[in-house]
Structure 1
Amino acid sequence: MKSTTLVLVAAMFLSACANSPPSQPLRTVKQVDLARYMGDWYVIANIPYFAERNCFDSVESYALRPDGRIDNWFSCRRGSPDAPFERKVSALAKVEDATTNARWSVRFFGLISVQYLVIDLDEQYRWAVIGHPSRNYGWVLARDKMLPDATYDQILRRLGEQGYEVSRFAKVPQRT
């Protein structure tokens, strides 16, 4: 099972690398306070990849290590809101731009490294938007299970301004 998952993750990220990135690079936020960013974030919407498909109550969790690296876990209920909660993917991130803390390199299974860009962030850290240079992946995260529609619509508008095809984002069901 782990080797199958590894092969699938590798294929996904290698295909993302093979696509030529859009002409304008994604703009990251000016500053991320890592201490405030750590903790649990509910996945409000995403451009789902295989590990996220058919997930309910998805959560991204972050914990800062003493050496500055970041533990990252993705968990969800697979197939049904009544399914057991399970950790799907674990990763280790390293901040690549210490000036902003908004550009990370995230390593899966110790082998595959992908870019993680904080491209939008609420001043109060109530929500965040994560992008990938290819724009084939993206996540809208929030501290609460629900995000006001007006806020979500503004986030989608800004994602469109950054070159994302916003119709690819799917809301993730969160049990309230």
Structure 2
Amino acid sequence: MAVRPQPVLRVSAISLALGAVCLLGACALNPAGKRGNAHVPQPAKPVDLARYVGRWYELARYENGFERDCEAVTADYAARDDGLIDVTNSCHKGGVSGPLDVAKGRAKVVAGSDNAKLKVSFFGPFFFGDYWVLDHADDYRWSIVGEPGGRYLWILTREAAPPSAEKAELIERVRALGYDTSMLRMTRHE
């Protein structure tokens, strides 16, 4: 599989996550510009960045233009010496065995947010999107990521295929945060 030398914007959440991970950030509108939550809550708890970094798999997302046709979406976060976070979002276009598409960016923590709000950029130092870790498991096995406009949402997990009961629990948590779960698009993984 060939990776483009100059990747285009693909956010997962974060990507996945974290990513995501926007993924990550709110750099483009979702196809309909529809909000899934008119009253996005503040993040529920602080984030330990040392535990948050690593690989996340996108379980589900609100559909958006920059992830159109993406499956097997992952977001990888790595701490940098300068305090920023490297973000690498990957997806397979058209299906889980489709061509790999990779986007690299960086994130910075928003001061006073207990590390739960980040600004993510895939376009250099001038254009940053919001990435809010709205909720996460105490053991960091899952994370729910959004942004203040309510147009973007990602459910990220540490496993590509978490148990069905955990998936149902996460969708219910998203609903409890005020999001329209009918807008969720489940991401396929191998």
Residue 121 of structure 2: aligned partner:
107
Give the match for residue 100 of structure 2.
85
Q: Distance in 2 between matches of 1:159 and 1:147?
A: 16
Which runs of structure 1 show a deviation greater than 4 angstroms over 4 or more consecutive aligned residues?
none
Deviation of 1:99 after TM superposition, in Å, equals 5.2
CA distance in 1, matches of 2:166, 2:135: 12
Aligned partner of 1:30 among 45, 63, 69: 45
Aligned to 2:189: 174
- The SS at the match of 2:128 is strand
1:47 and 2:62 matched: yes
| TM-score with structure 1 setting the length | 0.82
- Structure 2 CA distance for partners of 1:77 and 1:154, relative to 1, 3 Å: same
Distance 1:86 1:48 in 2: 17
CA–CA separation in structure 1 for the residues paired with 2:28 and 2:187: 23
1:12 matched to 2:34? The reply is no
Contact 2:40 / 2:147 at 8 angstroms: preserved in 1?
no
* Paired-residue identity, %: 33
CA distance in structure 2 between the partners assigned to 1:63 and 1:109 by the alignment: 18
Superposed displacement of residue 52, structure 1: 1.4
- Report the AA paired with residue 71 of structure 1: D
| Structure 2 counterpart of 1:165 | 180
Is the 8 Å Cα contact of residues 42 and 141 (structure 1) preserved in structure 2?
A: yes
Are the equivalent residues in 1 in contact too, given 2:105–2:121 (CA < 8 A)? yes
**Deviations, residues 151-176 of structure 1 (Å, cap 9, x unaligned):** 2222222222222111111110010x
Higher RCO, 1 vs 2 (CA within 8 Å, ≥6 residues apart): 2
Distance 1:54 1:2 in 2: 20
Distance 1:10 1:145, change over 3 A: closer
Structure 2 CA distance, aligned partners of 1:41 and 1:60?
A: 5
Query: Displacement, 1:10?
Result: 5.2
Unmatched runs of 5 consecutive residues or more in structure 2: 10-25
1:29·1:100 contact (CA, 8 Å) conserved in 2?
Answer: no
Aligned to 1:119: 134
Does residue 154 of the first structure (1) align with residue 169 of the second (2)? yes
> How much is the aligned-residue C-alpha RMSD, in angstroms?
2.7
More helix per residue: 1 or 2? 1
Following the alignment from structure 1 to structure 2, what is the Cα–Cα distance between the partners of residues 31 and 44? 22
User: Which moved further from structure 2: 156-165 or 122-131?
Assistant: 156-165
TM-score normalised by length of structure 2: 0.77
